[in-house]
Amino acid sequence: MDTKLTLKLDKEIINRAKLYAESKKISLSKLIESYLQVLTKESSSKENITPLVESLSGVIELPKNYDDKVDYTNYLTKKYK
C-alpha cells in the first residue's frame, strides 16, 4: 500500500535528485523508496566466510598509526626508481 509522505529538504538537493532520477528514468519517489528499502533492509545473520579466510583473521597486527596509502606510495617509489 502506497502512502503519501511530505519531506522538507534543501531545494538544491531536490533539484539534483530530480535530475539524477530523470537520468535513471525513474521517479523521485521510486528513487527515495529504493534508497530507504536498502537502508532499512534487515541484514542476513552472517556472511559466508570461508574457513581459510576465518583462519587468517587477526594474523597480522598493525601499529595504530599505520597508513596503508603511505606504505603503498613507498612501495611504488622503490619499485619504479
The answer as to whether 45 is a domain residue is: no
Nearest CA among 17, 13, 37 for reference residue 27: 17
Nearest CA among 45, 47, 20, 44 for reference residue 32: 20
Whole-model pTM?
0.50
Residue 20: give the domain boundaries: 9-40
* Distances from the Cα of 41 to the Cα of 9, 20, 38, angstroms: 23, 23, 5
- Maximal CA-CA distance, the chain: 64
How many domains does one find in the chain?
A: 1
What pLDDT, in 10s, does the model give residues 29-81?
Answer: 999 999 998 888 876 556 778 888 888 887 888 888 999 999 999 999 999 98
The answer as to whether 29 is a domain residue is: yes
